[in-house]
Amino acid sequence: MRIIILGSAAGLPTPERNLSAVLMEVDGEQLLFDCGEGTQRQMIKARLSPCRRMKIFITHLHGDHLFGLPGLIQTMNLMNRSYPLEVYGPPGLKEFLNETTLSTMSEPVFDLSLHEASEGEVCRTRSYRVMGAWGDHSTPNMAYKVIFGESAGKFSAKKAAKLGIPEGPLRSELKAGRPVMLGDGRKVYPAEVLGKPLKGRSVVYTGDTKPTSGIIRLAEGSDLLIHEATFSSELAERAAEEGHSTAEGAARVAKEANVKRLLLTHLSARYPDPKVLEEEAKKIFNDVEVTEDFKVYELKK
**Residues acting as catalytic residues:** 64
Give CA torsion, residues 152, 201, 122, 45, to 10 deg. -140
Measure the CA angle with vertex 39, ends 38 and 41; round to 5°.
Answer: 70
Contact present, 251 and 279 (Cβ < 8 Å): no
User: Which of 202, 205, 201 has the alpha carbon at shortest distance from 57?
Assistant: 205
Report the length, in residues, of the chain. 301
What dihedral angle (degrees, nearest 10) is formed by the CA atoms of 89, 92, 93, 96?
-170
CA–CA distances in Å: residue 267 to residues 45, 59, 62, 207, 280: 21, 17, 15, 12, 14
- Let me know how many helices (H) and strands (E) the chain has, helices first: 10, 16
- HSE, CB side, 13 Å, CA atoms: give it for residue 214: 18
What letter would DSSP give residue 197? P
